[in-house]
Amino acid sequence: MSDSWDRGILTTLELRTAMGRGVYILFLVILVLLAITVLFPFLFAFSSGLKSSTEIYKGGLAIFPAVPQWENYTQAMLKFNILEQFKNSFIIVIGGLIFQLTVSTLAAYSLARLKPFGGRYILWGFLVTLMIPSISYIIPLYTTLVKLPILNISLLNNFLGLWLPYAVNAVAIFLMKTFFESIPSDLFDAAKVDGASALRTFWSIALPLSRPILIVLVIVGFLALWKDFLLPLLVLPDPKLQPITVRLFYMLNVKSAPSPLNIQMAASFLALLPPLLIAIVLQGYLKRGISAGAVRG
């Protein structure tokens, strides 16, 4: 039976017919066109960093340069201090992920297994935030970070000013809660009989079994936090602390000494390289995590 479905949407029997082969070729052509559409911006950004500025302005579909200028990438790294900006970006992203996963897993576990009073309404409160555009509360968030209530301290030019807002993610809480609820209750009951506390059960049972969905959240969270621009722009006015998304914006728009276009393209491609590599290297884990979540759900 499994051999008849090895083609996914078409069975082996259907592929033996003329119509089945035609449908298969049609889907293949569509997927190839979609792949080209997705990959073309990355290829264009990379090849533009190897061209001279005059080649970039030329018309036509000359994607690859006549003579690759690899030194453009070296100049971009030195001119824009890419490594220093990468360091700031990784500090922001890794710290944000630690805060986000800590809050999301603990909140989801308490809602799924500890069953607090009014837990359904608490979850609704988290989900309601998804209906509010993030831009609408950026001003209240900024004024709060300028002077924290009660403590009366400012989190500007402080990575905590980004980590704390990143900590609460309604989608992550909802996904983790759903996953925790799909774990057989017998495991938690057995741990309770053995005298394990709620925190011990969370650490020894719930988290190890949740590794697939945690990997998915890490990948998605990394991509989202790396590309964030507006909040780091407001919270980190000090250039020495700014991530690459913010710093490149300033340095590429310097009116007094504008950089050549090919150097700008090289710097832009280098900026998107870490999330691109993360997506490529961990795509297998992403598929397994989504599949595990779907089967458990």
Please provide the DSSP assignment of 218-234 as one string: HHHHHHHHHT--HHHHH
Q: Which of 95, 127, 122 is nearest to 111 (CA)?
A: 122
- Residue whose pair of structure tokens reads 């293949």 in the numeric block: 28
In this structure, the answer to whether residues 63 and 90 fall within a common structural domain is no
pLDDT value of residue 2: 45
Q: Would you call 80 exposed, middle or buried from its count of C-beta atoms within 10 A (0-12, 13-18, 19+)? A: buried
In this structure, the answer to whether residues 98 and 230 fall within a common structural domain is yes
In this structure, the answer to whether residues 100 and 134 fall within a common structural domain is yes
Q: What is the DSSP string of 6-41?
A: TTSSS-HHHHTSHHHHHHHHHHHHHHHHHHHHHHHH
Last residue of a domain, one of 74, 97, 116: 74
What total number of domains does the chain contain? 2
Residue 176 clears pLDDT 50, i.e. is over it: yes
In this structure, the answer to whether residues 286 and 146 fall within a common structural domain is yes
With cut-offs at 50, 70 and 90, classify the pLDDT of residue 282. Answer: confident
CA distance 273 to 136: 31
Name the least confident of 45-49, 225-229, 282-286. 282-286
In this structure, the answer to whether residues 17 and 41 fall within a common structural domain is yes
pLDDT value of residue 110: 92
CB atoms inside a 10 Å sphere around CB 144 = 15
User: What mean pLDDT do residues 41-56 have?
Assistant: 87
In this structure, the answer to whether residues 163 and 47 fall within a common structural domain is no
User: What mean pLDDT do residues 116-145 have?
Assistant: 88
pLDDT value of residue 66: 82
User: What mean pLDDT do residues 214-220 have?
Assistant: 90
pLDDT value of residue 167: 94
Check if the beta carbon of residue 56 is closer than 8 Å to that of residue 72.
no
Last residue of a domain, one of 74, 90, 106: 74
In this structure, the answer to whether residues 25 and 112 fall within a common structural domain is no
Q: Which of 40, 66, 34 is nearest to 51 (CA)?
A: 66
| Domain that includes residue 24, residue range | 2-74
Q: pLDDT tens-digit profile of 77-129? A: 988 889 999 999 999 999 999 999 999 999 999 999 888 888 888 888 888 88
With cut-offs at 50, 70 and 90, classify the pLDDT of residue 1. Answer: very low
Q: pLDDT tens-digit profile of 232-280? A: 999 999 999 999 999 888 887 766 567 788 888 899 899 989 988 888 8
In this structure, the answer to whether residues 259 and 281 fall within a common structural domain is yes
Q: At what angle do helices 283-296 and 211-226 cross, to 10 degrees?
A: 130
End-to-end CA distance of the chain: 25
In this structure, the answer to whether residues 180 and 86 fall within a common structural domain is yes
pLDDT value of residue 64: 83
With cut-offs at 50, 70 and 90, classify the pLDDT of residue 63. Answer: confident
Last residue of a domain, one of 55, 74, 93: 74
pLDDT value of residue 109: 94
| Amino acid (1-letter code) at residue 243 | P
Q: Would you call 14 exposed, middle or buried from its count of C-beta atoms within 10 A (0-12, 13-18, 19+)? A: middle
Residue 289 clears pLDDT 80, i.e. is over it: no
Residue 6 clears pLDDT 80, i.e. is over it: no
Residue 281 clears pLDDT 80, i.e. is over it: yes
pLDDT value of residue 8: 61
In this structure, the answer to whether residues 131 and 267 fall within a common structural domain is yes
What is residue 266's three-state secondary structure?
helix
In this structure, the answer to whether residues 55 and 201 fall within a common structural domain is no
Question: What torsion, rounded to 10 degrees, do the Cα atoms 40, 225, 271, 143 define?
Answer: 120
In this structure, the answer to whether residues 292 and 174 fall within a common structural domain is yes
Residue 38 clears pLDDT 70, i.e. is over it: yes
